[in-house]
Amino acid sequence: MRSLILSLALCFFSIPNLLHARDILIPADYFPPWKIAKNGKIIGGIDFHLIATLLDGLEFTPHYELLPWKRCLVIMESGDGDLISGVTMTKERQKYLTYLAPPYKTKSQKVLFVYRGTRASFKTLKDMEHKTIGVLRGASYFPGFFENQAIMKYETNDDLQGMKMVAAGRLDGFLITKENGEYLLKENPQIKKDLEMSIWKYDKRVEVYFAISKKSKMIMRIDELEKRLKYLVESGEVEKIINNSLK
């Protein structure tokens, strides 16, 4: 009887650790400089460092799985993934994601990379009509783009593929976040000489979030996560990590 009581007591006192010290799966796409991959694994990037800072002291051990962006969202919807970064808010995604407030990024300038010498041909969104524009599969862009049926869209699994297709003359342009495009060109000088940014740009406010799958065990600690995120944003720590990484 005494041994049974002792066993129950040990189980009871171990429950908090079981509840808090847990492995979590983070699906992530190759999205430099935010998510940097090598040899099939996420090894760094701005989001990588932000997540480490966000989870510091919360007893979660993150494990990354490198996947195309659309597959990342599927993993989050099924509940196999726990936490995702770099996600914008849409009605469809709100069905299976709980967004952490506040957004950690509110500026996301979208640019169009085109073949060198054609930048002046794209001054407005209308100039993309009857052209084939590359987009990242599963990505959400801005009002008026996907709704415009006259713009022909071609989906790619990653941004580098799209940039290479423009350089090869297979696409008229590729839509991408400015710093992502600049990073890719810096890392790939062989295509940098063939591409440039068009005159058209989209630089209105775009909110970017961390989000938790509604089926994840992390959902029980939303309040703690949001409290810590709010501190990191308001203290300037998030901006500091982003700026240091972009130097």
Residues 8-52 have pLDDT tens digits of 444 444 333 333 448 999 999 998 899 999 999 999 999 999 999
pLDDT digits (tens, 9 = 90+) for 95-125: 999 999 999 998 878 999 999 999 999 999 9
| Exposed e or buried b per residue across 54-79, where buried means at least 16 C-beta atoms within 10 angstroms of its C-beta | bbeeeebebebbbbbbebbbbbbbee
Residue 139 has pLDDT above 90, yes or no: no
As a whole number of angstroms, the distance between CA 231 and CA 133 comes to: 39
Query: Looking at per-residue confidence, does 104 or 140 come out higher?
Result: 104
pTM here? 0.75
What is the pLDDT of the chain when averaged over all its residues?
89
pLDDT digits (tens, 9 = 90+) for 181-239: 999 999 999 899 999 999 999 987 889 999 999 999 999 999 999 999 999 999 999 99
Kindly state the average pLDDT of the residues 53-78.
95
